[in-house]
A and B are shown apart, each in its own frame.
Chain A
Amino acid sequence: MHPFAYQRASSEQAAVEAGNPGPGVRRPPTEAAAQFVAGGTNMSDYMRLNVTRPDVLIDINELSPSAYGHIEADSAGLRIGALVRMAEAEDHPVIRSDYPVIHDTLKLAATRQIRNMASLGGNVLQRTRCEYFREASFPCNKRQPGSGCSALDGFNRRHAVLGVSDACIATYPGDFAQALIALDARVEIMGPQRRRTIAFSELHRQPGGTPNVETGLAPGELITGYVVPAGPHTRRSRYVKTRDRESYQFALASAAIALDLDGATVKDVRIALGGVATVPWRAHEAEQLLVGQPLDETLARRAADAAFAQARTREHNGYKVPIGKETLVRALLETQAMDV
Chain B
Amino acid sequence: MADHPGTGKSRLSLHRRGFLTAAATGATAAVVARGAEAQTSEATPAAGVNPRTPRPVTLSVNGQTHEIGLDARTSLLDALRDHLRLTGTKKGCDHGQCGACTVHIDGKRALSCMSFAVMAEGHEITTIEGLAAPAGDLHPMQQAFVDQDAFQCGYCTPGQIMSAVACVKEGHAENDDDIREFMSGNLCRCAAYPNIVAAVKQARDAIREG
Contacts and interface: CB of A to CB of B under 8 A. Distances in A.
Given A44-B75, A55-B51, A114 B185 contact: yes
Interface in A97-140: 110-114, 116-117
The residue in A3, A37, A48, A59 that gathers the most chain B C-beta atoms within 10 A of its C-beta is A3
A298 B55 CA distance: 64
Interface in B29-66: 43-44, 46-47, 49, 51-52, 55
A287 to B, nearest CB: 31
Contact of A59 (B46, B96, B119): B119
Contacts of B43: 3
Given A1-B5, A41-B96, A112-B166, 17 more contacts: A1-B3, A3-B73, A5-B46, A5-B51, A6-B116, A40-B116, A44-B75, A45-B96, A45-B114, A48-B95, A57-B72, A110-B185, A113-B99, A113-B109, A113-B110, A113-B185, A117-B115
Nearest to B122: A62
B184 A116 contact: no
Contacts of B119: 6, 37, 40, 59, 61
A89 to B, nearest CB: 14
B124 interface: no
Contact of A4 (B2, B46, B113, B182): B46
B181 interface: yes
A111 B99 contact: yes
Interface string B64-91: 0000000111010000000000000000
Contact of A116 (B55, B75, B108, B113): B108
A37 B172 CA distance: 29
Q: Nearest 9 pairs between A and B by C-beta?
A: A111-B185, A247-B184, A3-B51, A6-B72, A1-B3, A5-B46, A248-B184, A55-B46, A5-B51
Interface of A: 1-6, 33, 37, 40-41, 44-45, 47-48, 55-57, 59, 61, 87, 110-114, 116-117, 246-248
A47 B95 CA distance: 11
B95 A247 contact: no
B27 to A, nearest CB: 23
What bracket does the count of chain B residues touching chain A fall in?
Answer: 35 or more
A48 B2 contact: yes
B96 A114 contact: yes
Nearest to A47: B73
A3 B110 contact: no
A116 B110 contact: yes
Contact of B95 (A45, A57, A87): A45
Nearest to A7: B47
Nearest to A55: B46
B96 A247 contact: no
A56 B47 contact: yes
Contacts of B188: none
Interface string B108-141: 1111011110110000000000000000000000
A56 to B, nearest CB: 5
A111 B167 CA distance: 11
Contacts of A114: 96, 111, 114, 185
Contacts of B71: 3
